[in-house]
Structure 1
Amino acid sequence: MSVHAAPPAALGAGSPRHNNKRLAVNVLKLVAARLAGLLGTLFVASIVIFGALYLAPGSPLTFLTHGRSMSPEAIAQLEQQYHLDEPVPLQYLRWLGGVLHGDFGTSILFHESVGSLLGSHGPITLVLVVLSAILVIAFGLAVGVFAGLRPGVASSSIMAAATAVMAVPAFVAAVVLTLVFAVVLGWFPVFGTGNGGLDTVYHLILPAIALSLASVAFVGRLAQAAIRQEMKADHVQTAISRGLPYRFVIRRHVLRNAAMPVLTVAGLTIAGLIAGSVVVEQVFQLNGLGSLLVTSVQQKDFPVVQGICLVYVAAFIVLNTLIDLAYSVLDPRVPASGRKQ
């Protein structure tokens, strides 16, 4: 009587190796789909940005000739130098071809390549957004977990304060924080970015708090609601009634399941910090992309505005892609589309 050995479990359809392979395939599909979507979105955004600037009142020629008495020949030379004499579709194609080769053009206002301007102003905005994101995740989750797991007067008070903070615009928060912590108490500098390194981080703490304050409150409320909902779930109540350790149930069942919706909203909120940084940079006089964008819009510096807007759009899409990838890691059941089927 012969006995045939069963195939190893590691090679089965439900084996860890098979699950890891399926997860890797889903992630690769997601990355490929998101890259295609990124290119398509950037293409559409480039058309909208380029067209909207030319539809707006005024032109770069107004800035170039402001306060100067110039002959028609000199004006024609300026138009030829900046290709303003060409049809708008041809100008767009010329600009798009340069972008595909890494050339965003030359600033009309600063007479410097847009790429170098983005490189010199971008780090300030990046550090500001990263600091704000850390505050949103750390304090937002801490507030939400505390309020969700410990209902009572303290929890209700925290959520009431969070609701009030959510209604405060970033520029109002920036002015109030500056008045209290910079002018009255003198704990932080009023404006500027410091001398680099830790001094720059110190100068950006107050702007980061102003930028992230409403988002911290929003993520905290969402985390509290998600945890409260998971605590009422049947499988959580069953696990508690069976005598499983409370901390194990909270960590394994409540926090893990509640992390999914919180992750989505927190990621989108952090992406929104990029746009909000424009206002905060103006209030604190930070020499970042936001301040550069405002100056360029006022002076009709089209190449700089187009370059910064494209960077903002690309950053938003990349953050959304990272959120979907995190979904796939936290829950292998999530397919390449980033949503459960």
Structure 2
Amino acid sequence: MTFLRFAVRRLVEMAVTLLGASFVVFGAMYLAPGSPASFLLSGRSASPAALQAINEQYHLDDPFLVRYLRWLGQVLQGDFGRSLTYRTDVSGLLADRLPATLLLVAMALLVVVVIGLVLGWIGAVRGGTTDSAILVTTTLAVGTPSFVAAVLLQGLFAVKLGWFPSSGAGEGLLDMAWHLTLPAIALALYLIGMLARVTRSAMLDALEGEHVTVARSRGVPEREVIRRHVFRNSLGTVLTTGGLIVSTLLVCTILVESAFSVGGLGQLLELSTTTKDFPTVQAISLIIVALFMTVNLLVDLLHPLVDPRVTLGSRRSDA
């Protein structure tokens, strides 16, 4: 299958999946207990006339399918509606909070990739006591949830030692990076352990391959054997795990942002869910679904590049 045909097919699949996801996202909020009208009234009693005015303003009395189609048409034009909580356009809210979330995820991903790959490499190559120590360390990391790591890091390095800010996202790129250092580490800790163990396992499997034995018999330096014949052949498995890592980062950022009061999309999603801010929750949920599918598409497109034995579409058919 050619690259172009595969990419077009996957984009069509993404569009269909997004359409189905949009219906689920829109409908799920209306199945939850409570209503936007009760939040807008802040618990106060209201006359039937006042309730009717609110329902007409926000089209809450329209049939479900009519509301969905109206919302979908607005989304296709880049309009996610108006926030019930903040009384402003949802698009503006997302634009203000998206940079902090993207920088946090990017920093956490960098930490995961660098440390996870290095630990996995060392564990597979060195073996012995070093490998055992790395296994114990990564097991502890995998067993530590992100919100627990956030509380521990915040209490030690921000509150007690005062080395890092305890909350907020800062202003400007460098200040934001400084404020997001602890949240990024908390977000990355669990995934570092997972990537290290996957890398170690993949490299140990590759070390047992016949091509490695042949390379060594030909006198190829060990460092070159590890780099070209072991690590490179492990990248397919590592890349597949990388897609899962990015998806997990997008989900776990909600907990970490709330713990550090980052003020990104994750914290906005939590607050909007609590206050029944339907338009905001629907917009963020749809964006997260779209990011998930984009990550999976990129993994599928990159997989044949890091592992020539894989052809476009073969992983999907084998699954």
| Deviation by residue 1:158-204 (Cα, 9 ceiling, x = unmatched) | 11110111011110000111111112222111111112220011000
Match of 2:256 among 275, 280, 286: 280
> Which SS does the other structure have where 1:244 is aligned?
coil
When the two chains are superposed, the root-mean-square deviation of aligned CA atoms in Å is 1.4
In structure 1, the residue matched to 2:63 is: 87
Match of residue 62, structure 1, among 15, 38, 42:
38
Q: Which amino acid aligns with 1:203?
A: H
What SS does the aligned partner of 1:105 have? Answer: coil
Alpha-carbon contact 2:233-2:307 (below 8 Å) kept: no
8 Å CA contact 1:327–1:338 kept in 2: the answer is no
1:101 and 2:89 equivalent?
no
- The TM-score normalised by the length of structure 1 is 0.90
- The correspondence of residues 177-196 of structure 1 with structure 2, limited to 5 A, is 177-196=153-172
Amino acid at match of 1:320: N
Counterpart residue number, 1:260: 236
Are the aligned partners of 1:162 and 1:217 in contact in 2 as well (CA < 8 Å)?
Answer: yes
> CA offsets per residue over residues 121-144 of structure 1, 9 Å max, x none?
111111110111111111100100
Distance 1:338 1:210 in 2: 36
Contact 2:235 2:307 in 1 (8 A): no
| AA in 2 matched with 1:268 | L
Specify the alignment match of 1:129 in structure 2. Answer: 105
CA distance in 1 between counterparts of 2:237 and 2:251 reads 22
Deviation at 1:333, TM superposition (A): 4.1
Please give the alpha-carbon distance, in whole angstroms, between the structure 2 residues aligned to 1:214 and 1:337.
30
Matching residue of 1:166: 142
What residue identity is the alignment partner of 1:40?
A: V
- Provide the rounded CA distance (Å) in 1 between the counterparts of 2:219 and 2:72: 64
**Residue of structure 1 equivalent to 2:124:** 148
Q: What do the CA deviations read for 1:27-56 (whole angstroms, capped 9, x no partner)?
A: 222321221121111111111111111111
How many angstroms does 1:267 deviate by? 2.0
Q: Does 1:41 align with 2:4?
A: no
C-alpha separation in 2, matches of 1:85 and 1:131: 44
Identity of aligned residues (%): 45
- Deviations, residues 196-251 of structure 1 (Å, cap 9, x unaligned): 22001100010000001010011001101111111111220121122122222222
Aligned to 1:3: none
- Which residue of the partner structure matches residue 316 of structure 1? 292
The aligned residue for residue 175 of structure 1 is 151
State the alpha-carbon separation in 1 of the partners of residues 117 and 308 from structure 2. Answer: 23
How far, CA to CA, are the matches of 2:188 and 2:16 in structure 1?
30
Contact 1:108 1:303 survives alignment (8 Å) = yes
Segments of 5+ residues of structure 2 without an aligned counterpart are none
Q: What is the one-letter code of the residue matched to 1:134?
A: L
Partner of 2:29: 53
How far 1:66 moved relative to its partner? 2.0
- Please report how far the alpha carbon of residue 67 of structure 1 lies from its aligned counterpart in structure 2 after TM superposition: 3.8
Q: Which amino acid aligns with 2:69?
A: L
Q: Could you say what secondary structure the match of 1:334 adopts? A: coil
Which residue is 1:297 aligned to? 273
Measure the CA separation in 1 of the matches of 2:58 and 2:5.
42
1:311 CA drift (Å): 0.5
Judge conservation of contact 1:27–1:328 (CA < 8 Å) in 2.
no
1:226-245 pair list within 5 angstroms = 226-245=202-221
Structure 1 position 69, deviation (Å): 4.2
Structure 2: distance between partners of 1:66 and 1:194 = 32
**C-alpha separation between the residues in 1 aligned to 2:307 and 2:132?**
32
Does residue 71 of the first structure (1) align with residue 62 of the second (2)?
A: no
| 2:304 is aligned with 1:328 | yes
Distance 1:67 1:196 in 2: 39
1:101 Cα deviation (Å)?
1.2
Following TM superposition, by how much is the alpha carbon of 1:272 offset from its aligned partner in structure 2, in angstroms?
Answer: 1.2
SS of aligned partner of 1:217: helix
SS at match of 2:147: helix
Query: Partner residue of 2:176?
Result: 200
SS state of the match for residue 272, structure 1?
Answer: helix
Equivalent AA in structure 1 for residue 142 of structure 2:
M
How far has the Cα of 1:338 moved from its partner?
5.2
Given the two structures, how large is their TM-score scaled by the length of structure 2? 0.96
Counterpart for residue 5 of structure 1? none
Q: Please give the alpha-carbon distance, in whole angstroms, between the structure 2 residues aligned to 1:276 and 1:302.
A: 21
